[in-house]
Amino acid sequence: MKQLTKAEEEIMQILWQLKEANVADIIQEMPEPKPAYNTVSTIVRILENKGFVDHRKKGKGYIYFPILEKETYSNQSITQLMNNYFNGSFKSMVSFFMKKNDMSTEELESIMKEINKKEES
């Protein structure tokens, strides 16, 4: 799966949230200063070429929608992060984030309970 640039990811986050949108809707959700219409339109077309987004015609324009689920992309990104920075070790990655975020044992136990609940489902 291809990686997203920062600008592409920002637009994908909006599309995942809105489910579908035209370029003007996407721009409306973006922070100030708002990018130019043509800039966002170009990025959306790039996302289409990468296989993240598709469109349907509506009137004179297009409505864009994600064809890749956010969870699928998140899983791939986390796996790549773990492989690139933690030698593929989930334990090393969790340990790093625990230390960086000054996580308590109680918080870690709470996370483990959530993981166990998901495994039991």
Question: What local confidence, expressed as pLDDT, does residue 98 receive?
Answer: 83
Ordered by where they begin, the domains of the chain are 6-66 (1.10.10.10), 70-120 (no CATH)
pTM of the complete model? 0.77
* pLDDT tens-digit map of 11-62: 999 999 999 999 999 999 999 999 999 999 999 999 999 999 999 999 999 9
**Dihedral Cα 60, 44, 21, 25, nearest 10 deg:** -90
Of all residues in the chain, what percent are helix, strand and coil, respectively (each to 5)?
A: 65, 10, 25
Quick one: which of 60, 57, 59, 70 has its CA closest to 15? 70
CA distance 91 to 12: 29
